[in-house]
Structures are given as C-alpha cells and as structure tokens.
Amino acid sequence: MAVIVNYVGFHPTLALDGFDYLRRQFPVERIYILYDGKRDRYGAVSRRNAEKLRQILQFFKPIMIDVNPQSFESVFSKVYAILRRECSEKKDVFIDITDMPPEAVSAITMLALMFPSVKVYTVPTDKRGDFIPAPNTPTFEDWIRSKDNKRGLKPQIIDLPGR
C-alpha cells in the first residue's frame, strides 16, 4: 500500500496530476496534504489550493497538515512524524516536492535518505516559461529587471543528520 505526501503551493493541478498517475500504479491507502500555515500571501494561496485539493480527493479522507515551508525544522519535524508512522507500518511513501521551496526540499531529501521506503518525485509542467515575454523586446528587459529586484538575507546553513 502507498501513502502520498503532497505540499500544495501555487500548482494544485500538478499535485493532482502526480496523484492520479501514482494511484494507477499503486493502491493508495492514505494521502497527506501539507500546506503553508503562515499568515501571509503565500500562506493564503497555499491554504486555498490545499482546500481545493482536499475537496477533490475527499474520497481518500486526506489529512491536512500546516507547515512553514521556509523552515527546515518545521518541514523536517512534521514530515518525520508522518514517515515514522507510515514506514513503521511498512508503507511505501511518495513525497511530491513540485511546489516546495528549497528549505523544504532539503528537509525532504534528508528524510528520504533516512527512510528507505520513501520516494521523492516532482511533476514537470507540460509548458515551461510561457509567462516570460519574448526575448529582444522592451517587455523582456523590464520583466528581467522586475525579477532581479530582491536582496538576500543571511544564508541558512542546513546541518546534515549525524554531523
């Protein structure tokens, strides 16, 4: 039996596409829907899309879990609890990282290395870059400038297990 863990951000349809593919390959016993529990705009989008996914998958009685996807510790601790339970019951666990930010992906990668029955997957889109304006146009240059307008904070060093 399989367990699927999805983090839902901006792309609930991709999460559903991945789920549909996996359920045809493996009998799904349980699904967890992780969503951004922060009270900001990202959290609002994630909560809305997680609820949409929950309604679509209501037959499976999905378990909703809020995380801070930008906190390694939040993702690691909440997903560790899921994996400890499911893997102790000898379940194969599939974790969708499609919508996860880097901090969450690093936590999931470490957890997957700790639990042999965990598989990590991503769902590529059928179209890439269709939101980028055509090159060699003023719109393209403006778009690039608008995307490169953020400054970084202090880097987050992520400690590996056992070190």
What strands, in cross-sheet order, belong to the sheet with 63-67? 63-67, 28-36, 2-8, 92-96, 118-121
CATH label of the domain that carries residue 33: 3.40.50.11700
Place 157 in a pLDDT band, splitting at 50, 70 and 90.
confident
Place 93 in a pLDDT band, splitting at 50, 70 and 90.
very high
The C-alpha atoms of residue 16 and residue 39 are separated, in whole angstroms, by 25
Instruction: Tell me, yes or no, whether 146 lies in a domain.
Output: no
Instruction: Tell me, yes or no, whether 157 lies in a domain.
Output: no
Number of domains in the chain: 1
Q: What is the average per-residue pLDDT within 62-76? A: 97
Place 15 in a pLDDT band, splitting at 50, 70 and 90.
very high
Range of the structural domain that residue 77 is part of: 2-125
Cα atoms found within 13 Å of the Cα of residue 87, Cβ hemisphere only: 19
> What is the 8-class DSSP label of residue 66?
E
> What pLDDT score was predicted for residue 163?
66
Instruction: Tell me, yes or no, whether 48 lies in a domain.
Output: yes
Instruction: Tell me, yes or no, whether 152 lies in a domain.
Output: no
Q: What is the pTM of this model?
A: 0.87
Instruction: Tell me, yes or no, whether 89 lies in a domain.
Output: yes
The C-alpha atoms of residue 108 and residue 103 are separated, in whole angstroms, by 9
Instruction: Tell me, yes or no, whether 151 lies in a domain.
Output: no
